């Protein structure tokens, strides 16, 4: 058997996600507009005489309170992921048939499985996420799709011939010319079509007719185009107006987390990173990534990290939306090694890191990693615990470590016999009594960003040890090894 | 002050401490043990006192060697070390990769944000060893740090088993239980010596609470 999960009014459902709390309530007429015409309407709008293909003014003439939305690709992608996730709960062999439609191959399901119970479970699971779904179960993928289109909310097809015979021909979505032929022949249902001799009819109708016959035969198992990519755990919302306070953003983030962590838990995974994107009024985006010290799927711990960030966030423009993505990982993969001391309270530590980043900036807190270059002072900051399991040992360190001045201090250096003799900086002049150098370094000579530097380590008469650098004719004090 | 008078004062101080310990056992809780760094000079009194603040003052090279010793301990013991770098001066290229992997580097632009960051990390209590590096911050700026800041750190630490090392150019921390004066070898011949050897030859003078005060000239 195959199961088809179909979200009716898919784009409308995507646009209406996270809007349960909006003042206009559930009973309003709602429509989706594309190219100036209505392409999806809800049941309430149908009752008010609003039909597909109308223009927005026509719809508003029939119902002044109608809410009209336009398509939101980010939310649609997010909703598709929810559906794929639900489908993967039924079978690992899953096809993303169309936007808002997935088909699962259940031929390897346990024997004696109750299809009705399974379909009810899917409907209930998505209803808890405020989503409406139609589930069709049948012997072929195409029949399952047809069943899902007719399901209210679920339909199980045990007798394929009886099911297809009762279908109107429009359910097969024939092309315009074919539809005209059916009308001319006086055919109304699929049963009428099946009563005609198959070979001669296909000869008259051509390739499309043959494809129609194979779809309704109940014997044609077309191969599924299986979903191979891991589902993404993301949610997004675009406000209809600019928001000036953090409350609506926080409210949505909590809802996002509740849903996304629920999905993670369903597949026994945890979140190891969060990616927050806040689109702003001037079309820029505030972006911030959070690494979770100990990956988790607990809402409270993750929410606290976001809360602390937003608490101290100062934006130049008002937010017009919010997006959240969780990066999933296996719970075991990101744990500390066996002999490492686990953190006492990982969630607390996650909050602490968020506080530090809020105080000092995102790039100011982390684990330093040297870049693959000989250019002095080049490094990058990585999140703590990223790559903590790497056990490579580097050669033993030599000498005192440098304390680098950022930025380097400009200085005047008197040179004699090609070596520094007197160094003047910070309004003092000191005579050099010990030195090592020059150490000449250069790189990127094949690019415009080429660099070359000559470094000296010098000991002053006052006991201080410094590193000097010469770039062209300019001398700088790069840092100190020892100052008394 | 004559020696007899000093002895008398010490006796009075000891009696007062005993009285406080009896009346307020929670406040005067005993130290939570010591953490051996593996550097002989630093471990002379048993290692770094847990649940307490330790001030490391003296030459900046000595301070860097203390950081090297603590990072070596972090690698050995498998924990993460928090370095609150007030001058944003760490040079990652001068440290072995395995040390950097154990380091949470908090880059601050001055002593004030560094103290705030330290406060956050001390209260968090997840990192067993924190190192606040104030050694190349201008003295004038350091002298503006109110004494209450250090008292606050003392109070938070004494209810934990964490270690807070404060690297300063001069004695600065009020009422510190343990102060170490460190000095590194800087002779030209030692500039390229293995860091391990420099650590072995690190000169350390340790002063614990109740001992004679000392002073290091600037």
Q: For residue range A116-138, list pLDDT tens digits in order.
A: 888 898 898 888 888 889 999 98
Partners of B93 on chain A (C-beta within 8 Å) are 370, 376-379
- Residue-wise pLDDT for B93-140, tens only, equals 999 988 888 899 999 988 999 999 999 999 988 888 999 999 989 889
Distance CA A237, CA A252 (A): 8
Is residue A34 domain-shared with residue A163, that is, in the same domain?
Answer: no
What CATH number is associated with residue A145?
3.30.70
Chain B touched by A397 (CB under 8 Å): yes
User: What letter does residue A454 receive in the DSSP assignment?
Assistant: E
Domain B31-208 homologous superfamily, CATH:
P-loop containing nucleotide triphosphate hydrolases (3.40.50.300)
Which of B124, B137, B159 is best to mutate for the A interface (most A CBs within 10 A)? Answer: B124
CB contact under 8 A, A401 and B95: yes
Partners of B181 on chain A (C-beta within 8 Å) are none
Chain B touched by A367 (CB under 8 Å): yes
Place of tokens 């350390």: B204
Upper half-sphere CA count for residue A238 (Cβ side, 13 Å): 17
Nearest to B104 among A348, A367, A436 (CB): A367
Partners of B92 on chain A (C-beta within 8 Å) are 368-370, 379
Taking only residues 410 to 469 of chain A, the set having a beta carbon closer than 8 angstroms to any beta carbon of chain B reads: 434, 436, 457, 459, 463, 465
Distance CA A122, CA A87 (A): 9
Is residue A376 situated within a structural domain? no
> What is the predicted pLDDT for the residue at A338?
44
Q: Chains A, B: CB contacts under 8 A, how many?
A: 173
Residue percentage of chain A with pLDDT more than 70: 94
> What is the predicted pLDDT for the residue at A391?
56
Distance CA A279, CA A283 (A): 6
CB contact under 8 A, A384 and B80: yes
- Residue-wise pLDDT for A289-333, tens only, equals 888 877 888 888 889 888 888 887 888 888 888 999 999 887 755
Nearest to B96 among A397, A403, A434 (CB): A397
Is residue A421 domain-shared with residue A326, that is, in the same domain?
Answer: no
Is residue A71 situated within a structural domain? no
- Confidence class for position A14, pLDDT limits 50, 70, 90: confident
Quote the strand ranges of A42-88, DSSP E. 67-70
Tallying the residues shown for chain B, one arrives at 218
> What is the predicted pLDDT for the residue at B60?
86
- Residue-wise pLDDT for B23-74, tens only, equals 776 555 555 688 888 888 888 888 888 888 999 998 888 899 999 999 988 8
- A299-311 vs A346-360: helix axis angle to the nearest 10? 10
- Residue-wise pLDDT for A28-87, tens only, equals 888 888 888 888 888 888 888 888 889 989 989 988 888 888 888 888 888 888 888 888
- Confidence class for position B216, pLDDT limits 50, 70, 90: very low
Is residue A247 domain-shared with residue A280, that is, in the same domain?
Answer: yes
Q: Are the beta carbons of A362 and B79 closer than 8 angstroms?
A: no
What CATH number is associated with residue A282?
3.30.1490.100
Place of tokens 């597909």: A52
> What is the predicted pLDDT for the residue at A388?
47
- Residue-wise pLDDT for B71-87, tens only, equals 988 888 888 899 999 99
Is residue A348 domain-shared with residue A434, that is, in the same domain?
Answer: no
Is residue A371 situated within a structural domain? no
How many separate domains does chain A show? 4
Is residue A210 domain-shared with residue A238, that is, in the same domain?
Answer: no
Is residue A5 domain-shared with residue A42, that is, in the same domain?
Answer: no
- Confidence class for position A21, pLDDT limits 50, 70, 90: low
Task: Decide which of A37 and B214 is more confident.
Answer: A37
CB contact under 8 A, B186 and A405: no
Partners of B97 on chain A (C-beta within 8 Å) are 370, 390, 392-394
Quote the strand ranges of A71-198, DSSP E. 94-98, 101-105, 134-138, 154-156
Chain A touched by B105 (CB under 8 Å): yes
Is residue A217 situated within a structural domain? yes
Chain A touched by B151 (CB under 8 Å): no
Average pLDDT over residues B188-205: 86
Average pLDDT over residues A413-423: 88
Is residue A441 situated within a structural domain? yes
Quote the strand ranges of A379-473, DSSP E. 379-382, 403-416, 419-425, 428-443, 451-460, 465-471
> What is the predicted pLDDT for the residue at A257?
92
Is residue A81 situated within a structural domain? no
Is residue A395 situated within a structural domain? no
Q: Are the beta carbons of A154 and A14 closer than 8 angstroms?
A: no
What ipTM was predicted for this assembly?
0.82
Is residue A202 domain-shared with residue A121, that is, in the same domain?
Answer: yes
Is residue A216 domain-shared with residue A239, that is, in the same domain?
Answer: no
Chain A touched by B146 (CB under 8 Å): no
What average pLDDT does chain A have?
84
pTM value surpassing 0.90: no
Task: Decide which of A228 and A48 is more confident.
Answer: A48
Nearest to B64 among A345, A400, A463 (CB): A400
* B116: closest CA of chain A, how far (Å): 8
Is residue A253 situated within a structural domain? yes
Distance CA A90, CA A109 (A): 8
Handedness of CA A382, A387, A388, A390 (dihedral sign): negative
Is residue A246 domain-shared with residue A284, that is, in the same domain?
Answer: yes
> What is the predicted pLDDT for the residue at A200?
86
Residue range of the domain that includes A413: 403-482
CA distances from A337 to A101, A387, A433 (A): 42, 11, 49
Q: Are the beta carbons of A41 and A52 closer than 8 angstroms?
A: yes
Distance CA A135, CA A476 (A): 72
**Alpha-helical segments (H) within A166-246:** 176-185, 190-194, 198-205, 207-216
Is residue A102 domain-shared with residue A243, that is, in the same domain?
Answer: no
CB contact under 8 A, A436 and B126: no
Is residue A216 domain-shared with residue A138, that is, in the same domain?
Answer: yes
């Amino acid at each position: 058997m195959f199961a088809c999960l179909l979200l009716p009014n898919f784009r409308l459902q995507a646009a209406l996600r996270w809007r349960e709390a909006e003042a206009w309530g559930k009973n309003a007429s709602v429509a989706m507009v594309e190219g100036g015409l209505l392409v999806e309407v809800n049941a309430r709008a149908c009752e008010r005489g609003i039909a597909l293909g109308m223009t927005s003014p026509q719809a508003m003439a029939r119902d002044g309170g109608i809410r009209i939305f336009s398509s939101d690709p980010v939310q649609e992608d997010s909703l598709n992921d929810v559906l794929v996730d639900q489908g993967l709960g039924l079978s690992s062999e899953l096809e993303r048939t169309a936007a808002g439609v997935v088909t699962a191959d259940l031929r390897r399901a346990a024997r004696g499985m109750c299809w009705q119970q399974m379909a009810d479970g899917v409907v209930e699971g998505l209803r808890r996420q405020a989503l409406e779904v139609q589930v069709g179960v049948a012997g072929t993928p195409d029949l399952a799709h047809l069943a899902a289109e007719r399901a209210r909310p679920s339909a199980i097809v045990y007798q394929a011939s009886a099911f297809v015979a009762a279908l109107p021909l429009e359910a097969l979505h024939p092309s315009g010319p074919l539809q005209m032929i059916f009308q001319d022949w006086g055919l109304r249902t699929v049963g009428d079509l099946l009563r005609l001799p198959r070979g001669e009819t296909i000869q008259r109708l051509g390739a499309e007719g043959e494809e129609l016959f194979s779809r309704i035969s109940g014997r044609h198992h077309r191969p599924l185009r299986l979903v191979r990519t891991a589902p993404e755990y993301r949610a997004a919302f675009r406000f209809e107006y600019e928001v000036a306070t953090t409350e609506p953003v926080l409210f949505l983030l909590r809802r996002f987390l509740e849903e996304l962590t629920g999905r993670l838990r369903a597949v026994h995974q945890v979140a190891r990173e969060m990616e927050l994107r806040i689109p702003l009024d001037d079309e820029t985006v505030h972006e911030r990534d959070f690494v979770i010290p100990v990956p988790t799927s607990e809402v409270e711990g993750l929410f606290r990290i976001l809360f602390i960030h937003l608490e101290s966030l100062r934006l130049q423009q008002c937010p017009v939306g919010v997006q959240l993505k969780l990066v999933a990982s296996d719970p075991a993969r990101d744990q500390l090694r066996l002999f490492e001391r686990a953190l006492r309270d990982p969630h607390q530590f996650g909050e602490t890191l968020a506080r530090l980043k809020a105080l000092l900036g995102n790039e100011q807190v982390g684990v330093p990693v040297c870049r693959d270059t000989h250019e002095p002072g080049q490094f990058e900051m990585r999140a703590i615990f990223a790559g903590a399991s790497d056990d490579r040992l580097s050669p033993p360190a030599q000498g005192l470590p440098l304390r680098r001045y950022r930025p380097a201090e400009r200085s005047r250096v008197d040179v004699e016999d090609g070596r520094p003799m007197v160094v003047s900086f910070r309004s003092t002049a000191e005579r050099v009594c010990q030195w090592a150098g020059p150490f000449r370094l250069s790189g990127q000579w094949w690019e415009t960003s080429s660099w070359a530097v000559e470094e000296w380590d010098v000991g002053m008469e006052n006991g201080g040890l410094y590193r000097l650098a010469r770039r062209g004719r300019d001398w700088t004090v790069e840092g100190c090894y020892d100052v008394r | 002050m004559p020696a007899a008078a000093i002895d008398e004062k010490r006796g009075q101080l000891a009696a007062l401490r005993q009285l406080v310990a009896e009346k307020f056992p929670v406040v005067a809780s005993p130290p939570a043990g010591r953490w051996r760094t593996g550097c002989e000079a630093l471990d002379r009194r048993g290692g770094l006192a847990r649940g307490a603040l330790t001030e490391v003052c003296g030459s900046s090279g000595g301070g860097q060697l203390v950081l090297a010793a603590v990072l070596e301990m972090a690698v050995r013991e498998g924990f993460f070390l928090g370095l609150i770098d007030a001058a944003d001066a760490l040079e990652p290229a001068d440290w072995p990769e395995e040390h950097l992997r154990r380091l949470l580097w908090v880059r601050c632009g001055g002593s004030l944000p560094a103290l705030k960051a330290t406060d956050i990390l001390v209260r968090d209590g997840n990192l067993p060893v924190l190192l606040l590096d104030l050694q190349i911050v201008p003295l004038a700026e350091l002298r503006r740090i109110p004494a209450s800041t250090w008292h606050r750190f003392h109070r938070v630490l004494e209810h934990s088993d964490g270690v807070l090392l404060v690297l300063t150019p001069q004695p600065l921390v009020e009422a510190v239980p343990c102060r170490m004066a460190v000095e590194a070898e800087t002779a030209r011949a030692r500039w390229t010596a293995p860091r391990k050897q420099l650590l072995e030859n690190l000169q350390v003078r340790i002063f614990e609470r109740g001992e004679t005060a000392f002073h290091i000239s600037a």
